[in-house]
Each structure stands twice: as C-alpha cells, then as structure tokens.
Structure 1
Amino acid sequence: MKNQITNAISDFFFEYETPRQVLVRNRRVGVVCRIIQLVVLAYIIGWVFIYEKGYQSTDIAVGSVFTKMKGVGYTSINGSERVWDVADYVFPSQGDASFVVMTNYIITEGQQMGKCPELHGKHNCSSNADCEGGSFKRTGHGQMTGECVDETKTCQVLAWCPVEDDLVIPDPPMLMSAENYTLFIKNSVTFPLFGVSRSNLVEGIDAGYIRKCLYHPENAPLCPIFRLGDIVKLSGFNFETIATVGGAIGVVVDWTCNFDVAVTHCKPKYTFHGLYGNPAETDKVRASVGYNFRYAQHYMEDRIPKRTLFKVFGIRFDIIVQSLARKFDIIPTLTAIGSGVGIFGVATVVCDLVLLYLLPKRAFYKNMKFKYTDTHAQQDSEWLGLETSDCCPFDANARQGQGTGQTDDPDSEAGSTETEVPKK
C-alpha cells in the first residue's frame, strides 16, 4: 500500500503527459485544414481585432445636458397683436434635456365653471333620455346634467364654459416664426474608467465663436447652436407640416472616442432623428399623429374664478447622449488571442471527421489514430499467472525494435492489440 502511494505521488510530480499526434499526408485533408485555419485567422484579425477592437477595454460616460432657447414670435388674431418670447413658448422653462417648443395653439378665453351644451360630435342627443345625468364621457368636457339642449342637439354638461372647440386646427401654424428660433446645447461627459472629462465646447469653441456660429453638418459640425428649421430638415421632415400638429425629434450627441490617441481627438458628433413617424407616410395612414397638450392660466374677474385655456401644438425635443470610449488593455488583448487560438481547434475537428467518416481509407486512418487495449485478455493472463513478457512477445519486440531503430514503421503498433496472447 505504501509503495502504491509513493508511486502515485512520484508519477504526479515527475511525469508529463502529452497527446499523441499522427501526421497525415493527404492533399485534400491538408487543403481543408489550411482553408479553415485561414478563415479563422481572418476572423480573428479582421473582426475581433480590427472591427470589434478586441484589444481595447471600453467605458460608457456619465454626463449632463443643459439647453437654452432664443427667439421671438409674433401673432395677430382678429386685430389682437401679441409677441411670444421664450417664457411663453418653451415648456418647461428650466433648460432640461427634454422640452417642447410651441408652434401652434388654440385659445379658449373667459371660461368659468357652469352649465353649457357639449361640443357637437362629443355627445349628440335627441331627447333627455340620451343624456344620463351624473355620467361622464371619456372624450367629453364635463359631467352630464341629464338635459338635451334643443339648439345644439347635444347634452348639457357641468364644465368650464364655453367648452373648448378644437375641431379645426389653425393651418398654417400660428408660430411659423419658430423655424428661426435657435437652440443652444451644452453637454459635458466623464469616462470614469479612464478618468477623462470632455465638453462639447471643445478646443477652438470660445465665446467669440459661439456668438457668430450656426451648426452646419459640413461647415460647422462642432457649433453647439442649432436653428430649429435646420434640425427639422436634417431629421427628414417639413417644418410647416410638423409645426401644424406637433411632433417629436431626437437630437443625439454621440461621443465615440479612442483614447489610444490624443484626448483632443475626442469630439461630439450630432445626428437628428424624427420620432414623429415615417416621413414617407401620409397623415391619413397614421394614427394619433402630432404632439399636443393643454395648460390653463387662471385669474379672478369680479370675484368669479375664470381661466384661459391653451391647447398647445409643439415640437418635443429630446437631447440624447450616447457614448463609448476605448483604450488599449492587455487583459482583453490576451483574452481575444486565447479565444482565437481555441477556435483554431475547429480545423482539427473538421479534418478528423473527414478522415474517420468520409475518406475511402477511413478504417486505415482510424487504426492509425486510435490505439486499442484488450483488458479482458490481460485479466485472463494475470489469472493464469503469466508475466507480461511471456504473454505479449509481440509488444515487447515492438518496443525493443523502436529502441534500436529496427522497425520499418514507427507507428506500426498503433493499430495492434497491446495484450494479444500468442498461440502456443
């Protein structure tokens, strides 16, 4: 028992195992092997290292966005002139990354709480039986009183009266001047993994440049001031169409940086995407087009609470920051190389399948690749008390021949049965 433990420990520390290799001289198999290896090599170099940049580590930035609108609009309705500034047409007014610029509106002035007929088409009636008192209609303006107004043939409601009439949307839009408003975007990002902070006010963008620049994708791609009409055009829409009923546009600030070069090369790229819908579609095939919301200005008149209701149609702008920074790192490099070396094993697997199952001489190659042992014959010889040298002269001679170099084929024992008992 002690000898067995000693031998096991000795074998563990002082022996080295290596797989046996068979060199196969076959042109077809050799060509297949090399083609597969070339494909794997092209994948590793072309896709993993060049395209996917597997030798670099990546990081995503954290950042903030600040916006500011500038511009003045003018309207004249029934002889009533009005000037609209930023405080009137931007919602909300805090300079968030998501905001709405009003381009069209419907005003209902002098509303006060009372009873009045519902708008035609909201809840028509022919008698009081058609108006269930105390009930509401989802698209209505108030609570039904149970009376049918003969003049309008609509149900009477308890609501802010007169009710809003929004069936006709002003066209062209009331604030077409919004096309010339300007948007200033200030964005800063930080890549924590690499300890790098950047701002879209990059080198060369100073106060003097900002005062006179206006964004252009080719002539001024780094200018942070954008004309609303240009944004809508670059997103693929017509300004008058989207200003009439409203819409949504995404402004993407893309920070894709390679920190293996100078940090000053890390600059933002602006792209614009219409979230309003597909520009190629017509309004008739789209459901619920546009963007609108309501807000009210409340006031007191002769001690009676009243309000002015605005239905606002506008363009919603969403400033979206996306980022990806890369830099050389030895760990992903070694990981990519190791995985690539492992993929080279595919060539061996494919070639083994061709050798063992497809070629005419597959039985010959199978005998060359695998070495068989007959455990039953060995157990029978041990039971009879025969020594290995007595029962297996062929195996001993083969080993002796290999040691002296007298055999013609060094792989001749590959297909032999190791413990074959000779006939006496």
Structure 2
Amino acid sequence: MGVKTQAAWKVFSSNVFDYETQKVVQINSLKIGITYRLIQLGIVLYVAVWVMYYEKGYQAFDEAVSGVTAKLKGVAYTNLTDTNIGATVWDAADYVIPPQQRSAFFVMTNLVMTPGQTLRTCEESHDIAGNDCTSDKDCNSGNIVMLGSGVQTGRCVASTRKANLSVCEIYGWCPTEYDVLPKDFILANAPNFTVMLKNSIEFPRYHIKRRNILGWMDKKFLSNCRYNPNSEKMKYCPIFRLGDIMEYTEAEHKHIWNKGGMVSIHIEWNCDLDYNEEQCLPKYIFRRLDDFDSPVGKGWNFRFSHHYMEGNVHKRNLVKAYGIQFFITVYGKGGKFHMLTFSMNLGSGLALLGIATVLCDTIVLNITRKREVYRNARVDLVAQKQKNLKRDQLNPLRIIPKCRNSLGREIGSSLIADSNKSFQCLIKDKVQHCGESNAITYSTAV
C-alpha cells in the first residue's frame, strides 16, 4: 500500500470511524457562569412569555367559517342644470350596484349619463383614437374600432363636439357618450350614507357560533348607534357611516368621492375560548387599497344601461358609474387548552435550553484567554493515549524496593530501574531519574 493510499485511508478512517462521547468539564469562572445563566434565563422567558402567554402555546386553534352581508341606507337629492340628470332623488336601489355582492358592495357617488340612446347613425365620439378623418376614404364601411361606439358607415362627417375636427360616422347607440365628469361629485350626500354589516362565524372544531350583532344590542340601540372606535360601546356597533370609514382609511378627500376607489373592511375575531364566549368580540380594520397617486388608471368606474321601449322604439339610458368598491374580509381564530399542543411546545422550549451550552462552549473554546487549556481538558484523544501506553510497554521498568539518592535523602516509596540500569524514583505523580551523581534529571506527567 503506497504512502498516498495510507494517508488517504488515515484521513478517511479518522472521519468515519471516530466515535465521540460526552465529557463533563467543570469550569469555575464567574463570567462564564453568569453568561450561561443569563442565556438560560432568556430562553425560559422566551418560552414562558412569548410562546406560552403571547402566542398561547398551550392552546389548539380553529379557524372560523364566516358569512357576511351589507345593507345600505341613505338618500341623496340632485338638482343639476344638466338636462341628462335634472332633479333626482337617489336611494339605495339607485346607487348600490348590483344590489348584492359576495362579501362586497359598491356605492355610486358620481356618474356620466347618456339618456335616450337609440340604434341609428351618428358621429363617433371625438376622443376615440383612430376615428378622425379628412374624407370618406379614411372611413371603411363595416369597420369596427374596438374602443369605439359602433360600426363605421364609410362617411366622414364634421364633429359637433370639437371645432375643426371631422370623424367617421357610425351605426350604433346614438348619441354617443360624452365622457365629462362634473366638477363636484353628484351624490353630495354620499358621505352620510350608512352601511350595516351582518357577520356570523362558527368555530366547527368547538361548535361555537358568534355574530357581530351582540346579545346585549336591541332594536333601539341599532337604530341610533354609529361605529366609533374610541367608545367602549360604539366600537362594537355594526353600522358605519361611509364618511367615517374614509377618515379611518385616511382617504377623506374629494378625489375618492369624485372618481372612486377601493376600500377594505376587515373584521377580525381573535377568541380565547377557555373563558366566557361572550368575550369573543369583533374588531374592525379599514384600509384604502387603490393608489390614487398613480398617473394612470385612477379610481373605480364601470358602465351599465337601462333598456326600455318608448312607443315602438327600443331605447336605453347609458350610465358610466364612478364610486367606491368596498371589499369585506373576515378572519377568525379561536383557541382552547389542548394537552398535546401544550406538551409539544413545552418540550420544544426545554430543548432550546441546549442552545445555552452550545453558545457557552463557543465562548469558552474560542474567545476566552484560557481557550487552549479548556480545549485540552474537554477533548481526550484515546488513540494518542493508546499509542503512549504501547510505547511504555515496549520499555518495561523493574521496581526496586527503596533507595537513597546521591544527595543523601530518601525519595519516594519505591525505586525503579530500567533496562539500562539507570535509576528512577516514583514521587507521587512524577517520575524522576536519580542515582549516580552524573545522572540526567527531568520530570514528566503520567
């Protein structure tokens, strides 16, 4: 076997076939002792305060199954010079579109109305790209512009909405929409509209049901209350003023009422079911979701129409609605004491105490001044001891009862002579050469 092969085998065997056992080394050091106990104290506090108390590590949790509906109330009156709208009274049947959504609702606050549209030919809207023309050749009969309002007839006509502009004539719902928003939002009373949220939840694992209309609330209370997070009673009121919601989201300015936006209403249930179930109460959180500072795509709007017959003529009223889209989310978590969960978290916490030993070992063996001493005391190389023992066995010593050295004093309880007739005396834990006056004297640990 070559030298390289032997070296490789030595490295391989030293890494694969070594076996380590624990060795206890007691170090009397005030600094290390304090550090060790402080680390242990920190781990105990983490388990007791954070895991067990704050995170309730002794409980098993169940997520709530939830359902929520919204009911809006409020009336707005408009009396505009715009003949398309005029004097109108708006109630929830008009401004809540559609009447019901799943965990959401939309409130129209502004609009552009194009009433009495019929299917006929008329000029295309002046702000549709690709519909301007200089002659009939620029308008292809039967061509459909996807962002336009109908089918081109092949004629180029003068625009009545913008001077010195000609546009292609179309066949479609005429007159086309004139998309210009009023300076102020039309439903000026919208901030005073109210919404009542009805939320019911259940924790299936524990067969516990709760609702946000609490047991102590009666009809009189619900008819007068308005949500107020700073009031001990009113912070549980399920009726919200829209203007207040905007204030809670820090979005109270005309832009959201004028061009619309998106708002989140979050209902949170964090329940400790080990105590009175009546203490399982909702918490309401409001956030604005859209970014009104974005340069494009601001607000929230969509179009819808009302079709009707006038005589024998099919007509429709086109409405481009601007408003606020509310999204309702519900999260519920309920916990009860559970022995298995408690045991597992406690066991995990106790296991963390081993970190104290690891950290202190790192400090002792790598940072302290006496790290070399601690390393030697901590690790015993059995292979090296076996080698030294084998070497001693190759040079047997013979024991001689007792002697006096050349200096005239008694040494040890026995005298040892090796094969070379030189004398060695055992003195406690040391071996010392003695005998002839010219003998070499040294000491070593056994």
Q: Calculate the TM-score normalised by the size of structure 1.
A: 0.78
Q: Give the Å deviation of 1:272.
A: 1.7
Please list every run of 5 or more consecutive structure 1 residues that lacks an aligned counterpart in the other structure: 1-17, 382-387, 392-407, 410-424
Give the equivalent residue in structure 2 for 1:234: 248
Partner of 1:81: 87
1:54 equivalent to 2:57? Answer yes
Task: Indicate the percent of aligned positions where both proteins have the same amino acid.
Answer: 37
Q: Deviations over 1:85-129 (max 9, x none)?
A: 222211121364211111111111121222221111213222334
Tell me the residue number matched to 1:186: 198
Distance 2:327 2:385 in 1: 78
Query: Over aligned residue pairs, what C-alpha RMSD do you find?
Result: 3.2
Query: Any residues of structure 2 matched to 1:6-405 within 5 Å, and which?
Result: 19-78=22-81, 80-94=86-100, 96-122=102-128, 123-151=131-159, 152-166=165-179, 168-219=180-231, 220-238=234-252, 240-277=254-291, 281=293, 285-374=294-383
Matched AA of 2:300:
Y
In terms of mean alpha carbon deviation, does 302-311 or 75-84 score higher? Answer: 75-84
Q: What does residue 406 of structure 2 align with? A: none
- Where relative contact order (Cα < 8 A, 6+ residues apart) is larger, the structure is 1
Gaps of 5+ in 2: 1-20, 160-164, 397-427, 430-446
Asked whether the equivalents of residues 70 and 105 of structure 2 are also in contact (C-alpha less than 8 Å), the reply is no
Of 181-190 and 86-95, the range deviating more from structure 2: 86-95
- Cα offset, 1:239, TM superposition: 5.5
* 2:235 alignment partner, SS class: coil
Deviation per CA, 1:245-291: give whole Å up to 9, x if none. 1122222211111122211111112222122336xx4xxx5321111
- Structure index of larger Rg: 2
Q: CA offsets, 1:27-63, max 9 Å, x none?
A: 3433332332233223223322233222222221111
Quick one: distance in 2 between partners of 1:364 and 1:261?
Answer: 57
Q: Which amino acid aligns with 1:81?
A: A
Measured against aligned partners, the alpha-carbon deviations of 1:324-366 in whole angstroms (never above 9, x if no partner) come to 2222222222222222222221222222233334444444333
Question: Which whole-Å CA distance do the structure 1 matches of 2:89 and 2:370 have between them?
Answer: 93
Q: Which moved more, 1:155-164 or 1:326-335?
A: 326-335
SS at match of 1:226: strand
**CA apart distance, 1:233:** 2.1
Instruction: Tell me the CA shift for residue 375 of structure 1.
Output: 9.2
CA distance in 1, matches of 2:223, 2:158: 62
Higher helix share: 1
Indicate if the aligned counterparts of 1:58 and 1:325 stay in contact, CA closer than 8 A: yes
2:107 counterpart letter in structure 1: V
Asked if the contact 1:179–1:239 (Cα under 8 Å) also holds between the matched residues in 2, the reply is no
Deviation by residue 1:225-247 (Cα, 9 ceiling, x = unmatched): 12222222222122643221112
TM normalised by structure 2 equals 0.74
Residues in 2 aligned to 1:243 and 1:374: alpha-carbon distance in whole angstroms = 84
Contact 1:67-1:96 within 8 A present in 2 as well = no
Instruction: Please state whether the residue corresponding to 2:374 is helix, strand or coil.
Output: helix
Cα shift readout 1:159-200 (whole Å, capped 9, x = no counterpart): 21111111x101211111222222111111111122211011
Paired residues in the alignment total 369
Q: Could you say what secondary structure the match of 2:34 adopts? A: helix
The corresponding residue for 1:417 is none
Kindly state the Cα deviation for residue 132 of structure 1 after the two structures are TM-superposed.
4.3
Distance 2:346 2:254 in 1: 56
Amino acid in structure 1 at the alignment position of 2:44: L
The secondary structure found in structure 2 opposite 1:374 is helix
Relative distance call for 1:73 and 1:361 in structure 2 (3 A) is: closer
User: What one-letter code is carried by the residue in structure 2 that aligns with 1:141?
Assistant: S
Q: Is the 2:266–2:330 contact (alpha carbons within 8 Å) kept by the matching residues of 1? A: yes
Distance 2:288 2:109 in 1: 16
CA distance in 2, matches of 1:127, 1:375: 105
- Verify the 8 A CA contact 2:191 2:243 in the aligned structure 1: yes
After superposition, the Cα gap between the structure-2 partners of 1:23 and 1:273, relative to the gap in structure 1 and judged at 3 Å, is: same
AA partner of residue 158 (structure 2): D
